[in-house]
Structure formats: C-alpha cells, structure tokens
Structure 1
Amino acid sequence: MIDVKINHDYFLDDGTTKFDDLLEDQKNVRLANYNISDNLTITPVLKTQSDLRNHKIVFRQTNRGFLLFANVDEYTRANDSAQVFCSKIQPTKDLMLTFKLRFKDTYFRNYTNNTDSEENRFFYFSNVRPDGENNSLSIFFKNTKVHTRFLLQPETSRSIMHEILINEIAPIDPLGLENIVLINPEDINEPQNVELLNEYIETQKLDGLIGYFRFAIDGRGNNDILVDTTVEIANGPNETLLGLPDEVPGPTLRFENRKTFWRYIDINEDEAFTTKQEQPLTQNGFVELRPNDLDPRLKDVFLLNPGKENIRIEEDNMYSEIFI
C-alpha cells in the first residue's frame, strides 16, 4: 500500500561524501548497519490505530522507515484484463491515516539540521498540502525530499494540531485535552486559543515531537493511496472499487545532518582553535582539516572529528567542541 523510507545523512554519509554519491557496495554496507528505529519512533494516533484494525491494514516499522500493508482481493481490470488488487474492506475516500513522528535519541537535534527555530511549528509529511500553505511546502509522496521542505507555518501548525486532537485523539482519550476540545475551529486565532495551542505544541516538542506523517486515501489527484479501479465481477456487472495503484508509493524522507563550527580547545594552554567554515557532523568517515582551515592556524596536531554530544550555541552559531 505504501513503503516509506527515512534516510539520515548523519548515519549514511561518509564524511563529506553524500550517501547518494557512494558506490553501490558502499551503500549496501551503510544500509546493513542502519536502523532508523533506534533513533525515531513512528506511532499511529488513536483513531488511526482503530482504522487500521477495521480496514485490515497492517502497520510495520522497519530499519528504513515503515510499511502499510492492505488486505486485498485479486480482480481482473475491466478495460485491459490486467491483474489488480483491491482492498478487501473498502475505505471511504475521506479516510485519513495519521502517524506521530518523535525522536528518542537525546542528541537528535544536535546532529540534525534544524530550521525549526520557533517552538510552535512542526513538520508535516503528507500527500495533501493543507489549506493555508503555499507551494513552498512540499507534497510528500513519490520522490526523495529533504525534511526542511515540510515545515509548517505557525498558523497551520496550530490548525493541524487542533484538527488531529479533536477528531483523532480526544474522541477516544480526552485526558488533558479538555480546554483544547472547547476551541471552535473558527475561533482558533483568538489570542487565548493561540497561546493554548502553542503551549501544547511546545510541550509535545519537548517530548520529542518532530511532526506527523498523514496520508489521505484521496490525495487530490496524482497522490492517491488507493485509486478508482473498474473490475470485472463474476456473474454480475463491472464494479468500481478502490485498489492499489500500478506503482505502490515509495517516498523517501531525507533528514539533513547539521553543520557546525568545530572548536578545538587546548586545555593545557587555555587556547581555542575554530574552523573558518562549518563542517558536517557524520557518524562515519573522516573530514580532514588542514592547518589553514582553523583560526588561529593549528599544525602538528592530529585533529579528531567531533561527536554528537558537545554542542554549544553562541550568537546564533553552533560549535562542536573537542578537547585536545
């Protein structure tokens, strides 16, 4: 039904060489040791958990991302006699499947490029662009795209969060949502409601929220999860059912690794040497620095690459600190 892959540059790149530029055998080695579920969790929200059960759709998190399997019946397509598969339990076209994306690695924000400077915004990976967002917000469906292209505006973040809470969570478990449930959609921009929703989003992000994957059965055109398919029915007239498309959607989300200034601190001389340019943080490979790459110039010292732990923010710049 859909196969979502999540790549992260920090784990897959080799120093300054991007994963896509590696040789195939090098890529296979990287992927053999790659398990994004060690760092991220993808969880169906309460209503989606129920919808998956009721429609016999299986959700499975994998080393690369997650899969959705639909229970299907086999048919013959009416117009060309091709073999097609249609959902055994037919959903309505307004069905929306929502999955919460969280990080569980304490240092995730340290090594991930983060354009999310405002705490009341989150990322939205969907086959439908929400109202209020222009074309700068990408549609998540078929191709590999960088995560920073899916950042909602604050106003849309509040609207989407409110919609998910009142329609997909509160009807099943309203605990802690009593005040948010009372907000009418037309009053969502009232100052007190803006403050309430911002506080809720900030609290969720402190608990690791990155954003939501959200898939509509009807993707408003070429982004449908299931498509109208006219099939032959034995001993009866042809029937139009929702079936799997000829090509199962297999989008890839790529998280960019963060670049920081690298600061080498000589603890004996109480002196610091900082790279003149930001360098990428990666788990694999080695970024070689020359003496002239640092200010002041530093030579005759083997310069290790920094890990993900020691990050310092100063005047909107980020520094990775290494003690020598």
Structure 2
Amino acid sequence: MSNIHYTTLFSIDILHGYHLNNGEEPYLDMSLDNQEKMLDRYDWQQFLNVRPTVETRKHFRRFQLLSKNTGKSLRVMVRGLEVNSQDSFIPLEQELTLAFLMSYRDPYFENYTDMNFLSGEKMFFSNFQPPALDGIDFHPISLESTEEYFSDSFIITEESFDLLLDTYGIKEAGNDTAGLILIRMQGESGNLNVLNVNHTLKINPTVFKIHFSNRSTYWRYYQASSDTGAETNQAKPLTKNGFVQLSIDTDFDGDPGTISHLRFPNPGVKHIQSDGINYYSEINI
C-alpha cells in the first residue's frame, strides 16, 4: 500500500500588530530572531475564527483537501499523486473556489485593531474579483512579500456581502460573521494564482497575507482622589507586549508640575471611546 502524501496547496499568514509588536517597535522592524520569538507565543486563532463553509467542506472531501493551521497561518493541504509530485491525487479545477467565513473569538478585536467599527459592513479578502462585485472597486488579498496592512480597501457593504453569499450558496453566515475569504485556484493575476497554468501544483505554494495594524488612541488619565486629569498630545499604540513609556515633558501639554504625582500605566483594550474623529482610551489611576 502506498503512503498518503499531503503537501501545501496555499496558506494565508494572519498577523496582528497588537499581538506581535513590542511596545512601539513594529513586528516588521524587528530582527528575524526577535520576530521568531514573538511568533513562538503567537496564535491568530486566539482572536479570529476562520472556518470553511458547508460547500467548501464538500470540496475538501471531493478533492482530498485538509486544513492544517499553524500559529501564524491558515494552511490548506492537498493530497499529492506521489511524494514530490506536482500533480494532485485528484486533478483540481482552475475555477475551484474555496470560501471561509470569519468571526471574532476576541470580543474586543475591533477595539485594538486599526479599523472602523463595523456596522453592517464586512471584511472581504479574495485573490480574484467575483463577478457579483463587477463595477465595484476591488483590492486583492495581500501577498506575503508585501508590507501591506489591512485597510478600508478590504471592507465591503452589507449589500455586496449578501450578493456574495447568494452567489456562492453560503447559507450559514450568522450575525457574528465579520468577513469572508474567497480563494480561487486561478487568481486575478499570475502571482495570485494557486495553481500553475497547466493545473499542476506550485513548487513554492502561494502565501497570502492578512496583516492587521494595532489601533492607536489618545490616552486619557484621571485620578479621582486628586481630581487630576491628563491626556496625551499624540495617539499612542495599543499593544499586548512590551511597554510604551510616557514622558510628562513631551507627551502631555501644559505644566508638567501639575501631573508629576501621577503614574501612567498603559491602557487595556476594553474602554475605547470616539468623538467621531479620534479614539480615546480611558484610564482611571
């Protein structure tokens, strides 16, 4: 009996600055050694749930695909014809499209993510422009090789999202659904393809990327015992790791002497407010 061999079909790196940055030092600016240290304790599935749709699970069974995620990536594997072969055990169709629904595992995800709070809108990531979105500005999912971050370009309206659900027969999206990922074997352009043009597997599988930035907020401090308040004059990054050190001489306006008795811990992510222009973290000290 021959051994069953699986190889990577494609993967999606899912990165988040709140979890990967170290204080004010961005993950991408770290040395490779320090990046690896941050990844050792990182798992994107702590804050996001990405699950294949019912129809995609049928495709998984039909084409002998499976999901084998890592702390850094969502990874889809395919059964190969034999070891080191570029042929899949069951030939894949160029139009084969896999769909994944996104939801939050962390209820405070939007608090610490550099994004507008969703109100009916949804996140959308795809390596091709679906016909249902013809005439609408489309921005393809990022590739591993780029330094592109999540932005409003990856947000679609509720109406467009519903069109996609109808087009791909997705009936299980619920109120908790925050987004959709569509990956077609033939992408919008060559570097977005999953398969080679001759339908064979790539020697170096395509690595897509979704990289969220951490939100920066103005930090408002208030000490009830002395009825003293202070607010940073610039927005500061929210980060799970490291510490953002504040200076009473440069990070606050006014007379430093009036706030010299205060301490300035970094804020949590539960209490975020907005005045319609800026976001604020409220910290009682």
Q: Which TM-score band applies after superposition, normalised by the shorter structure?
A: 0.7 to 0.9
Could you tell me which of 146, 150, 155 is aligned with 2:149? Answer: 146
Is 1:267 aligned with 2:267?
Answer: no
SS of residue paired to 1:168: coil
Aligned counterpart, 1:57: 65
Which structure is higher in helix share?
Answer: 1
Aligned counterpart, 1:132: 135
SS of residue paired to 1:4: strand
Structure 2 Cα separation of the partners of residues 218 and 252 of structure 1? 17
SS of residue paired to 1:99: strand
Q: Read off the aligned partner of 1:216 and give its amino acid letter.
A: R
How far does the alpha carbon of each residue in 1:196-217 deviate from its partner, in whole angstroms, 9 at most, with x for none? xxxx9xx73xx2x331111011
Identity value in percent:
26
Alignment of 1:7-26 (within 5 A): 7-26=15-34
Q: Read off the aligned partner of 1:143 and give its amino acid letter.
A: S
SS of residue paired to 1:125: strand
1:91 CA drift (Å): 2.8
Contact 1:94 1:217 in 2 (8 A): yes
Q: Read off the aligned partner of 2:45 and give its amino acid letter.
A: S
Aligned counterpart, 1:102: 103
Aligned counterpart, 1:162: 163
SS of residue paired to 2:39: helix
1:2 CA drift (Å): 0.6
* Root-mean-square deviation over aligned CA pairs: 2.3
Count of equivalent residues: 268
* Change in CA separation of 1:23 and 1:166 when aligned onto 2, cut-off 3 Å: closer
1:21 CA drift (Å): 1.3
Q: Which runs of 5+ in 1 are unaligned?
A: 76-82, 174-199, 230-241
1:34 CA drift (Å): 0.7
Give the TM-score of the pair, scaled to structure 2: 0.85
Give the TM-score of the pair, scaled to structure 1: 0.76
Aligned counterpart, 1:294: 252
How far does the alpha carbon of each residue in 1:127-183 deviate from its partner, in whole angstroms, 9 at most, with x for none? 113423336x244344343111542342xx52343232453234xx7xxxxxxxxxx
Larger Rg: 1
How far does the alpha carbon of each residue in 1:241-285 deviate from its partner, in whole angstroms, 9 at most, with x for none? x21123211122210100101011011122321001100000111
Could you tell me which of 245, 255, 263 is aligned with 2:212? Answer: 255
Aligned counterpart, 2:49: 41
Q: Which runs of 5+ in 2 are unaligned?
A: 1-8
Structure 1 Cα separation of the partners of residues 16 and 188 of structure 2? 29
Alignment of 1:305-316 (within 5 A): 305-316=266-277
Structure 2 Cα separation of the partners of residues 258 and 285 of structure 1? 15
Q: Read off the aligned partner of 1:294 and give its amino acid letter.
A: F
1:104 CA drift (Å): 1.2
* Change in CA separation of 1:116 and 1:263 when aligned onto 2, cut-off 3 Å: closer
